[in-house]
Amino acid sequence: MGNITIKTPEDIAGMRVAGRLASEVLDFITPHVTAGVSTDQLDKLCHDYMVNVQGVTPAPLNYCPPGYTPYPKSICTSVNDVVCHGIPGDKVLKLGDVVNIDVTVIADGYHGDTSRMFFVGEPSILAKRLSEITYESMWLGISRIRPGTYLGDIGHVIQQYAENAGFSIVREFCGHGIGKVFHEEPQVLHYGKPGTLDQLVAGMIFTVEPMINAGRREIREMSDGWTIKTRDRSLSAQWEHTVLVTETGFEVLTVSAGSPAPPAFITNQAAGSPVSVD
């Protein structure tokens, strides 16, 4: 288990609130993701909503892990071939763009972390399929979560599903444990072998957030020290939820009134039918 923290009932209650609030920021920003808006405007809208309406702290703002410069904004906006950590700026969204918005709030000391894909106008067939496969792969990974299974089981099913669709998994970034600390153990890889890595126990909380490229999996880092793009300039997509391991399975903590519905196979699984990934 290493340094993985098992959350107390009090922690879990706090994480439910933080997760819902993070998801509600994405609900709030949805109607504003339109052609003609800049990513900086989206950041300012989210910042003001978090601080003034919700009374929470945007975790990314001035976040500074070792070896990095402080992150200068309150959300991440990753457009088209940006894999993750896109810094909001003067880029204006245009019809056909796809953008991942990643939000992490701190509410009463607890972190809620989630991201969604947004389409500006009508996306290309490829962009739509990439986003759908990424969303489904995240949920397939989540569907494996219960006490006794392994982190490798999550990564394996995500990798299998994405690669069977002709896409590739970014390997340099992964999900992570989360609680009163933004990023903690364990690392949640989105590829791997079943039955490997840490075994899941009730009370663990971590993110599942596959980054999937339409082309090759290689990436490049921009000169700002944060923005990560696909090396071959192909499209990239990401979805993210924060998930609790319960006594009998899982509970997704980053849900709100505007959350996209889980795929049908998750609903079917809840009803007792098996999940197929073929």
Q: Per residue in 72-109, pLDDT tens? A: 999 999 999 999 999 999 999 999 999 999 999 999 99
Q: Per residue in 212-269, pLDDT tens? A: 999 999 999 999 999 999 999 999 999 999 999 999 999 999 999 999 999 988 866 6
The closest alpha carbon to 196, from 158, 147, 161, 155, belongs to: 155
Give, in order, the Cα–Cα distances in Å from 205 to each of 110, 242, 267.
12, 7, 22
List the Cα angle 163/164/170 in 5-degree steps: 10
Q: Mapped to the 3 state alphabet, what secondary structure does 44-77 carry?
A: HHHHHHHHHHHCCEECCCCCCCCCCCCCCCCCEE
Contact yes or no for 83/235 (Cβ under 8 A): no
**Full set of structural domains in the chain with CATH:** 9-270 (3.90.230.10)
Q: Give residue 126's pLDDT band: very low, low, confident or very high (50, 70, 90).
A: very high
Distance CA 133, CA 127 (A): 10
pLDDT value of position 270: 55
251, containing H or E segment: strand 250-252
Q: Per residue in 142-154, pLDDT tens? A: 999 999 999 999 9
pLDDT value of position 272: 47
pLDDT value of position 265: 82
Contact yes or no for 191/201 (Cβ under 8 A): no
Q: Is 195 a residue whose pLDDT tops 80?
A: yes
**DSSP states of 76-118 as a string?**
EEEETTEEE-PPP-SPBP-TT-EEEEEEEEEETTEEEEEEEEE
Distance CA 233, CA 214 (A): 9
185, containing H or E segment: strand 184-188
DSSP 8-state assignment for residue 130: H
Q: At what angle do helices 125-143 and 151-164 cross, to 10 degrees?
A: 160
Kindly state the average pLDDT of the residues 8-34: 98
